[in-house]
Amino acid sequence: ASGGAMAAGLAVPHRAGAQGVVPEWVTVAGHRARGYGMPAEAEAPVQRAIIEPWQDVAPEFSLSGTPLQRLRGTITPSGLHFEVHHGGRPDVDPDQHRLMIHGLVDRPLQFDLNSLERYPMVTATHFLECAGNSLVNAVMPEPLQAGCDVIHGLLSNSEWSGVPMSVLMDEAGVQPEGKWVVAVGSDGPSLARSIPIEKIMEDGILALYQNGERIRPEQGYPMRLLLPGFEGNMNVKWLTSLWVTDAPAHTKHESGEYTEILADGSSVKFTFAIGVKSLITHPSATMTMSGPGFYEISGLAWSGVGKVARVEVSADGGASWADAELVEPVLPRALTRFRMPWQWDGSPTILMSRAHDDTGALQPARPDWKARYHPSNFLHYNAIQPWNVTAEGEVQNVYL
């Protein structure tokens, strides 16, 4: 009989008899510490969804979408941050790389990476979203059955650290006629965007760090421009030049690719900020419900102009809405996680979320969004995403 095993009410299994299942890995020495860690091997399928529209002729024009449906919380692990490369990811030598500030400045300057380390640094968590995110929902006549990685994956959220742009611009001395800054990246096509000087000076960051470590190659190593809330491609990666001008240069990307054609045929040249938007990630398309009962509906909400103020969730196709919990801290121009308990009775239904931001803006329904634009427009799509739940528990992309 085992020692005091009968004392008190504590059920202690008999050691000798019941051994339970002893997995192999508790009987051997484990692996030693390592310099840099990686996800578990079993998580290898958790990858970005690679999108190469012209794979045969132009594979370097390539995108990859964050698998939002496989992630929780709000931070995007840097290995899964979305990519949009207009000419591929360059191999920038950080020792040779320079940041130039020139044009309408008193003192044209250049900085190397080491010098920039001496500068004051700010830290802020911000999302980045490609202006073309969710484009399949914007333009496809029938809803694509794909996951959040493919449909909405050009969206990520990181803690960025770097030098306030204003400190660097002040050192160069912006002249009174300097109203715009043409930011140029050090990639093959030397991607360039014109940015109002007000934004640069207000909260622009020369981002050197992403989630604590040096910024990743895909996100602009060794440095990128960060313009909190602005459409992704204005946050120029591999930033090498800030050219102060009196007017926008009307670069390639602000002449065509990133201009929205409206319903009347006219176009919006500059759409700076990302509109208020939300997305249920759990459950979402390509998932299958595991039977009726309790689920937590969970998703992400964001706005390029401020904080998320409120997220409503509907589990009946929009007939009724209830406020979801916003997970603290709710930060401006950052992804906000929302959650809502839900009992699924097993019958078909439609799940939706709609976000409000602190300017009072509300996420539109798809027909309202479509009504504003020419049918070809695929930019700044921020309409409500309805997910259809079938009786079999399949979760499907659907338009309402």
Partner 1 sequence: EGPDLGQPLTSDEIPFYATYVMPDGRGLPEGSGTPAEGAEIFAAQCTECHGITGTEGPVMPPVGPNEIWAKPAGSYWPYATTLFDYIRRAMPLDHPKSLSNDQAYALAAFILERNGVIDADTAMTAETLPMVEMPNRDNFVDVWATQGAKPW
Q: Which does 398 bind (CB under 5 to 8 A by kind): a second copy, Ca ion, Co ion, none?
A: none
Cα–Cα dist 279/277, whole Å: 7
Residues 86-115 touching Co ion, rule: CB under 5 A, are: 91
Cα–Cα dist 49/65, whole Å: 5
Instruction: Sort strands 99-103 and 239-245 into parallel, antiparallel or unpaired.
Output: parallel
Residues 81-110 touching a second copy, rule: CB under 8 A, are: 81, 83, 85, 87-98, 102-104
Q: Does 24 bind Co ion (CB under 5 A)?
A: no
Q: Is the Cα dihedral 213, 302, 51, 205 positive or negative? A: negative
Q: Which is nearer to a second copy, 121 or 352 (CB)?
A: 121
Q: Which does 251 bind (CB under 5 to 8 A by kind): partner 1, a second copy, Ca ion, none?
A: partner 1
Q: Which does 91 bind (CB under 5 to 8 A by kind): Co ion, ligand HEC, partner 1, none?
A: Co ion
Give the count of residues interacting with partner 1 (CB under 8 A): 97
Residues 215 and 113: beta-carbon distance below 8 Å: no
Cα–Cα dist 161/212, whole Å: 7
CB neighbours of residue 57 within 10 Å: 6
Residues 156 and 219: beta-carbon distance below 8 Å: no
CB neighbours of residue 50 within 10 Å: 13
Tell me how many degrees the CA angle 32-35-36 measures, rounded to the nearest 5.
Answer: 110
Binding mask 23-42 for partner 1 (x = CB under 8 A): ---xxxx-------------
Cα–Cα dist 388/374, whole Å: 27
The SS3 of residue 311 is: strand
Q: Which does 115 bind (CB under 5 to 8 A by kind): Ca ion, partner 1, ligand HEC, none?
A: partner 1
Residues 337 and 281: beta-carbon distance below 8 Å: no
Of 110, 160, 154, give the one whose Cα is nearest residue 132. 154
Q: Which does 1 bind (CB under 5 to 8 A by kind): a second copy, partner 1, ligand HEC, none?
A: partner 1
Q: Which does 43 bind (CB under 5 to 8 A by kind): Ca ion, ligand HEC, Co ion, none?
A: none
Q: Which is nearer to a second copy, 115 or 267 (CB)?
A: 115
Supply the minimum distance, in Å, between the C-beta of residue 3 and ligand HEC.
20
Q: Which is nearer to ligand HEC, 61 or 272 (CB)?
A: 61
Residues 117-146 touching partner 1, rule: CB under 8 A, are: 118-120
Q: Does 20 bind partner 1 (CB under 8 A)?
A: yes
Supply the minimum distance, in Å, between the C-beta of residue 93 and Ca ion.
5
Binding mask 147-186 for ligand HEC (x = CB under 6 A): ----------------------------------------
The SS3 of residue 29 is: coil
Residue 62 CB contacts under 8 Å (≥ 6 apart), including other chains: 50, 51, 52, 55, 83, 85, 88
What are residue 22's phi and psi, to 5 degrees? Answer: -110, 105
Residue 375 CB contacts under 8 Å (≥ 6 apart), including other chains: 139
Q: Which is nearer to Ca ion, 95 or 264 (CB)?
A: 95
Sheet with 325-326, strands from edge to edge, namely 277-282, 293-302, 336-344, 325-326
Cα–Cα dist 386/396, whole Å: 9
Q: Which does 16 bind (CB under 5 to 8 A by kind): Ca ion, partner 1, ligand HEC, none?
A: partner 1
Residues 188-227 touching ligand HEC, rule: CB under 6 A, are: 189
Residues 87-116 touching partner 1, rule: CB under 8 A, are: 87, 100-103, 107-112, 115-116
Q: Does 39 bind a second copy (CB under 8 A)?
A: yes
Which string of DSSP letters, residue by residue, matches 205-218?
EEEEEETTEEPPGG
Q: Which stretch binds partner 1 (CB under 8 A): 41-49, 191-199, 319-327, 382-390?
A: 191-199
Q: Does 58 bind ligand HEC (CB under 6 A)?
A: yes
Q: Which is nearer to Ca ion, 59 or 367 (CB)?
A: 59
Residues 289-308 touching partner 1, rule: CB under 8 A, are: 293-295, 304-305
Residues 174 and 127: beta-carbon distance below 8 Å: no
Residues 227-266 touching ligand HEC, rule: CB under 6 A, are: 252, 256-257
Q: Which does 171 bind (CB under 5 to 8 A by kind): Ca ion, partner 1, ligand HEC, none?
A: partner 1
Binding site for ligand HEC (CB under 6 A): 54, 57-58, 61, 86, 189, 252, 256-257
